[in-house]
């Protein structure tokens, strides 16, 4: 159950050999050390890729928004303006770091840190592929919920620490919005857990298949709705438009990060963009089949069967790369939709936001949950399309009999 | 591997990494950036007006109630997650009925609260 | 080795956080230290192999209760004014060196007495003797719907009570003109 990248690598024949060799050289059991190193390297890769994704996210956002509004978008730095985010980074780091006079200095420091820690910790359970998951905790989804609520605390503290009225209002709105929308999100995730019978991302992904009809989104009518509830809730949790009330420029200047300058602001922004990626990844993993590749390509079975000359281990690696690609592709598709929504829909009003959450989304989510529970009981966990297919074949069979 | 507590290692490493990145960037930035705060610059931003009083004031009790309701749903979720995780297994065993009844009872009692 | 590291880190976070909660005079800071302490407790649960409990700790306490407390602090608004309008210190000084010393000695004696009484219960396990850690989620789920079904349902009634209470608080009062 508890698969990690280390346990995946440990399947390779060279791994234990390397461990024993290192142990010999160092003179003590190096298993723990090697584990630590492997995790460290993996974390380093993931964090850097994520920082890149966050940076490119800002670029993509501006480029797509420009596209939607028929503008050019950034196009000076690098080819097609691709290096714009690096230029922004340099700008941010050389900006003066202003701490407001009345601010709570400690909390002013802690708030962006909390946001960053919360988002980074949630990266630990993202299932990039069956092999490359930092750690597939068997409480995966629940852990993710807990860690992501840290961002809410961070936003509130950020708003509080600035001691500016705009920030305070933004922080208040942000915190209450995040905790409100966590309720429908939790209930939708519960629905998925009901269908998959497990809390870890591995179990949930494995319970689905590679082709769209095996995904949970098309499992039954209720899960189809549940996906949209989850997606809208995720938008609200990441403070994305149309739910970007905590940072509504037109009414709150810049919301909870009004007073944050330079790198502190950069880290808030980075945390936000990575969180969007994480939530898109979660949506993809829970409802859109995650890293599953059709036709058994992902596990390498297809290649092993059809090309016996290829070593099974290599076939598995190819499968893993494919899985990685599929997962990232699905996530980025959702990412595009998120940006697209931002530039399409107007912002909600605060009371509408709360009404939407408590009077519409939460009851719908509960309804979904009940519906899925009954569905699983009534049809023994079979999906909608399987049932239709069997009904069709039964009809065809009876038709042929007459 | 002697024990599988190692699964929590990436979590700690990630948290540490975030902290190091944050502090490191601020320290590096300290060497590069200018630092000349003025009275106007460090005052809270209020569109050019001189701020009156502090922002730390009492606010609407509704926010508090939202947090309260959120915790209730959180606890509910915490109760239902393990049940949901084993529900499929019970159905496969053919014992899904009683569990479903329990789950529905649990949810319906909460629904009363919402409708209230 | 990692077990020890994790235990030490969690214990340090728990105790240090708890100590700082008591020591800090700023309510907001105290709340942040409480967050640290709660994370430490979650880490301790995880060290013991109770992974679901650890996650619940994170979700309910670190996510919910801390935000509730932050809101409550903002609601009462007594953050930075340590003196109320009559000039009386809101947070009285906690004591002198004498009281601290006496307190420390008393708590030491008490803890020794408690440890002494409990000592027959403790056993020394080496790591190899411990059962391999498995997911506790399934166990909890099975127990909740079999042995403890009644408690499961009663807890839902309890939550219903809390929900209605929250609704009653937030309901605007009609007697006083309903200005809300």
**pLDDT tens figures, A150-192:** 888 888 888 777 777 777 777 777 788 888 888 888 888 888 8
Q: Could you tell me if A9 lies within 8 Å of chain B, comparing CB atoms?
A: no
Neighbours of chain B (3+ CB pairs under 8 A): A, C
Chain A contact set for C32 (CB, 8 A): 107, 110, 157
- Nearest-Cα distance to chain A for B60, in Å, is 10
- For residues A218 and A230, what is the distance between their CA atoms, to the nearest angstrom? 15
Beta strands in B1-116 (DSSP E): none
Q: Which of A175, A221, A166, A216 is nearest to A195 (CA)?
A: A216
> Which pLDDT value is given to residue B116?
57
The answer to whether A97 contacts B35, with C-beta atoms less than 8 Å apart, is: yes
Interval C64-79: pLDDT, tens: 888 888 887 777 765 5
Taking phi first (over 0 means left), then psi (-120 to 50 degrees means alpha), and beta for anything else, what does residue C49 get?
left
Backbone angles phi, psi at C101, to 5 degrees: -60, -50
Chain C contact set for B19 (CB, 8 A): none
Contact A184, A233 (CB under 8 A): yes
Q: Could you tell me if A182 lies within 8 Å of chain C, comparing CB atoms?
A: yes
Q: Using alpha carbons only, how large is chain B's radius of gyration in Å? A: 26
Give the mean pLDDT of A2-29: 66
> Which pLDDT value is given to residue C106?
92
> Which pLDDT value is given to residue C109?
92
Q: Could you tell me if A157 lies within 8 Å of chain C, comparing CB atoms?
A: yes
What percent of chain A shows pLDDT beyond 70? 72
B6 to chain C: nearest residue by CA?
C2
The answer to whether A39 contacts B111, with C-beta atoms less than 8 Å apart, is: no
- For residues A70 and A187, what is the distance between their CA atoms, to the nearest angstrom? 39
> Which pLDDT value is given to residue A254?
62
Residue with the bigger pLDDT between B112 and A171: it is A171
> Which pLDDT value is given to residue A223?
79
- For residues A136 and A159, what is the distance between their CA atoms, to the nearest angstrom? 34
Q: Which of A282, A338, A299, A24 is nearest to A145 (CA)?
A: A282
Chain A contact set for C54 (CB, 8 A): 139
> Which pLDDT value is given to residue A152?
82
Judged against a pLDDT cut of 60, whether residue C84 lies above it is answered with no
The answer to whether C137 contacts A152, with C-beta atoms less than 8 Å apart, is: no
Domain boundary among the residues C56, C79, C102 is at C79
Chain A contact set for B92 (CB, 8 A): 380-381
> Which pLDDT value is given to residue A1?
41
> Which pLDDT value is given to residue B1?
35
State the CB neighbour count (10 A cutoff) for residue A261: 18
Residue of B15, B34, B44 to mutate for A, most A C-beta atoms under 10 A? B44
> Which pLDDT value is given to residue C159?
76
Q: Is residue C3 domain-resident?
A: yes
- For residues A120 and B16, what is the distance between their CA atoms, to the nearest angstrom? 10
The answer to whether B64 contacts C75, with C-beta atoms less than 8 Å apart, is: yes
Judged against a pLDDT cut of 70, whether residue A309 lies above it is answered with no
**Residue keyed to tokens 């499929």:** B88
Of C1, C28, C52, the CB nearest to A160: C28
- Mean pLDDT taken over chain A: 75
Q: Is residue C162 domain-resident?
A: yes
Judged against a pLDDT cut of 70, whether residue C122 lies above it is answered with no
DSSP result, chain C? -HHHHHHHHHHHHHHHHHHHHHH-SSHHHHHHHHHHHHHHHHHHHHHTT-HHHHHHIIIIIIIIIHHHHHHHHHHH--SS--B-TTS-BSS-----HHHHHHHHHHHHHHHHHHHHHHGGG-----GGGSPPP--SHHHHHHHHHTTTHHHHHHHHHHHHHHHHHHHHHHSPPTTTTT--
- For residues B99 and A221, what is the distance between their CA atoms, to the nearest angstrom? 22
Show Cβ contacts of residue B26 under 8 Å, excluding neighbours closer than 6 positions: A97, A263, A264
- For residues C42 and A143, what is the distance between their CA atoms, to the nearest angstrom? 11
CATH (domain of C23)? 1.20.120.1200
pLDDT band for A350, please (50, 70, 90 cuts). Answer: confident
The residue range of the domain holding C174 is: 148-180
CA distances from A27 to A17, A24, A221, C119 (A): 15, 5, 60, 37
Residue with the bigger pLDDT between C117 and B40: it is C117
> Which pLDDT value is given to residue B98?
64
Give the mean pLDDT of A255-279: 77
A143 to chain B: nearest residue by CA?
B11
Q: Is residue C17 domain-resident?
A: yes
Which of A219-228, A313-322, B52-61, C103-112 has the lowest average pLDDT? Answer: B52-61
Backbone angles phi, psi at C25, to 5 degrees: -95, -15
Instruction: Map out the domains of chain B as residue ranges.
Output: 4-115
**Residue keyed to tokens 């909608």:** A384
Residue with the bigger pLDDT between C105 and A83: it is C105
- Nearest-Cα distance to chain C for B32, in Å, is 30
> Which pLDDT value is given to residue A128?
77
Judged against a pLDDT cut of 50, whether residue A401 lies above it is answered with no
B98 to chain A: nearest residue by CA?
A377
Tell me which residues of chain C, numbers 111 to 170, contact chain A at a CB-CB cutoff of 8 Å. Answer: 134-135, 137
pLDDT band for B59, please (50, 70, 90 cuts). Answer: low
Judged against a pLDDT cut of 50, whether residue A25 lies above it is answered with yes
Backbone angles phi, psi at C8, to 5 degrees: -60, -45
Judged against a pLDDT cut of 60, whether residue C83 lies above it is answered with no
CA distances from A391 to A253, A396, A397, B62 (A): 58, 9, 10, 52
Chain B contact set for A366 (CB, 8 A): 107, 110-111, 114
Of A93, A116, A121, the CB nearest to B28: A93
Give the mean pLDDT of A387-401: 69
pLDDT band for C178, please (50, 70, 90 cuts). Answer: very low
Residue with the bigger pLDDT between A16 and A361: it is A361
Chain A contact set for B83 (CB, 8 A): none
Interval A272-291: pLDDT, tens: 888 888 888 888 888 887 77
Interval C20-63: pLDDT, tens: 887 777 777 888 888 888 888 888 888 877 778 888 888 888 77
State the CB neighbour count (10 A cutoff) for residue C4: 10
Number of domains observed in the structure of chain C? 2
Interval A34-46: pLDDT, tens: 777 777 787 788 7
Chain C contact set for A153 (CB, 8 A): 35, 62-63, 66-67, 70
Give the mean pLDDT of A235-260: 68
Which of A333-337, A377-381, B13-17, C90-94 has the lowest average pLDDT? Answer: C90-94
- Mean pLDDT taken over chain C: 74
> Which pLDDT value is given to residue C105?
92
Give strand pairing partners of C83.
C89
Contact B96, A376 (CB under 8 A): yes
Give the mean pLDDT of A353-369: 79
- Nearest-Cα distance to chain B for C31, in Å, is 15
Does domain B4-115 match CATH 3.30.70.1450?
no
Q: Could you tell me if C56 lies within 8 Å of chain A, comparing CB atoms?
A: yes
pLDDT band for B2, please (50, 70, 90 cuts). Answer: very low
Q: What's the 3-state SS for A224-242?
A: HHHHHHHHHHHHHHCCCCC
The answer to whether C58 contacts A107, with C-beta atoms less than 8 Å apart, is: no
Task: Dig out the tokens for A356 from the structure.
Answer: 């939407």
Of B57, B71, B114, the CB nearest to C60: B71
Judged against a pLDDT cut of 70, whether residue C85 lies above it is answered with no
Contact A130, A121 (CB under 8 A): no
Interval A213-239: pLDDT, tens: 677 777 777 778 888 888 888 888 777
**Number of residues written out for chain C:** 180
Q: Could you tell me if C5 lies within 8 Å of chain A, comparing CB atoms?
A: no
């Amino acid at each position: 159950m508890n698969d990690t990248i280390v346990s995946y690598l440990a399947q390779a024949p060279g791994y234990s050999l390397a461990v024993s060799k290192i142990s010999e050289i160092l003179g003590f059991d190096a298993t723990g050390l090697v584990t630590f190193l492997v995790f460290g390297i993996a974390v380093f890769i993931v964090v850097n890729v994520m920082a890149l994704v966050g940076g490119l996210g800002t670029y993509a956002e501006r480029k797509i928004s420009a596209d939607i509004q028929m503008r050019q978008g950034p196009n000076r730095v690098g080819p097609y303006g691709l290096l714009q985010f690096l230029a922004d980074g340099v700008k941010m780091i050389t900006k003066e770091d202003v701490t407001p006079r009345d601010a709570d200095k400690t909390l002013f420091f802690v708030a962006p840190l909390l946001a960053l820690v919360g988002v980074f910790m949630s990266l630990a359970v993202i299932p990039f592929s069956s092999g490359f998951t930092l750690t597939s905790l068997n409480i995966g989804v629940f852990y993710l919920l807990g860690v992501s609520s840290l961002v809410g605390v961070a936003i509130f503290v950020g708003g509080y620490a600035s001691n500016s009225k705009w920030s305070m209002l933004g922080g208040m709105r942000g915190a209450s919005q995040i905790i409100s929308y966590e309720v429908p999100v939790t209930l939708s995730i519960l629905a998925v857990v009901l269908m998959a019978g497990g809390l870890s991302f591995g179990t949930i992904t494995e319970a689905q298949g590679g082709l769209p009809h095996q995904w949970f989104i098309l499992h039954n009518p209720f899960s189809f709705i549940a996906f949209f509830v989850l997606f809208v809730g995720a938008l609200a949790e990441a403070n994305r438009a149309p739910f970007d009330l905590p940072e509504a420029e037109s009414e709150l200047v810049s919301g909870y990060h009004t007073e944050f300058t330079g790198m502190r602001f950069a880290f808030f922004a980075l945390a936000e963009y990575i969180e969007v990626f994480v939530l898109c990844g979660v949506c993809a993993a829970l409802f859109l089949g995650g890293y599953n590749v059709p036709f058994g390509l992902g596990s390498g079975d297809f290649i092993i069967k059809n090309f016996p000359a290829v070593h099974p281990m290599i076939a598995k690696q190819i499968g893993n790369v494919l899985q990685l690609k599929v997962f990232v592709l699905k996530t980025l598709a959702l990412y595009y939709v998120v940006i697209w929504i931002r530039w399409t829909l107007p912002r909600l009003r605060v009371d509408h936001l709360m009404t939407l959450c408590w009077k519409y989304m939460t009851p719908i989510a509960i309804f979904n949950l009940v519906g899925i529970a009954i569905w699983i009981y009534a049809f023994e966990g079979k999906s909608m399309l399987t049932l239709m297919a069997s009904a069709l074949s039964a009809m065809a069979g009876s038709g042929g009999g007459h | 591997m002697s024990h599988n507590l190692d699964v929590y290692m990436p979590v700690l490493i990630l948290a540490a990494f975030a902290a190091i990145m944050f502090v490191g960037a601020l320290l590096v930035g300290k060497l590069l950036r200018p630092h000349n705060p003025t009275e106007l610059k460090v005052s809270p931003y209020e569109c050019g007006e001189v701020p009156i009083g502090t922002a730390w004031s009492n606010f609407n009790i509704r926010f508090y109630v939202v947090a309260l309701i959120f915790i209730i749903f959180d606890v509910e979720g915490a109760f239902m997650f393990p049940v949901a995780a084993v529900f499929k297994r019970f159905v496969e065993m053919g014992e899904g009925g009683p569990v479903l009844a329990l789950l529905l009872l649990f949810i319906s009692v909460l629904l009363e609260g919402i409708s209230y | 080795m990692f077990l020890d590291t994790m235990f030490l880190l969690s214990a340090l976070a728990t105790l240090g956080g708890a100590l700082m909660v008591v020591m800090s005079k700023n309510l907001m800071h105290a709340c942040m230290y409480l967050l640290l302490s709660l994370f430490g407790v979650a880490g301790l649960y995880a060290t013991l192999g109770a992974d679901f409990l650890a996650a619940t700790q994170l979700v309910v306490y670190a996510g919910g209760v801390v935000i509730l407390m932050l809101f409550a602090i903002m609601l009462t608004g007594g953050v930075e004014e340590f003196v109320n309008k009559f000039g009386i210190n809101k947070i009285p000084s906690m004591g002198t060196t004498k009281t601290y010393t006496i307190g420390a000695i008393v708590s030491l004696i008490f803890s020794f007495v408690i440890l002494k009484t409990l000592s027959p219960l403790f056993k020394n396990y080496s790591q190899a003797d411990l059962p391999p850690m498995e997911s506790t989620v399934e166990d909890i789920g099975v127990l909740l719907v079999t042995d403890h079904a009644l408690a499961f349902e009663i807890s839902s009634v309890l939550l219903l009570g809390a929900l209605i209470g929250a609704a009653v608080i937030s309901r605007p009062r009609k007697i006083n003109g309903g200005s809300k």
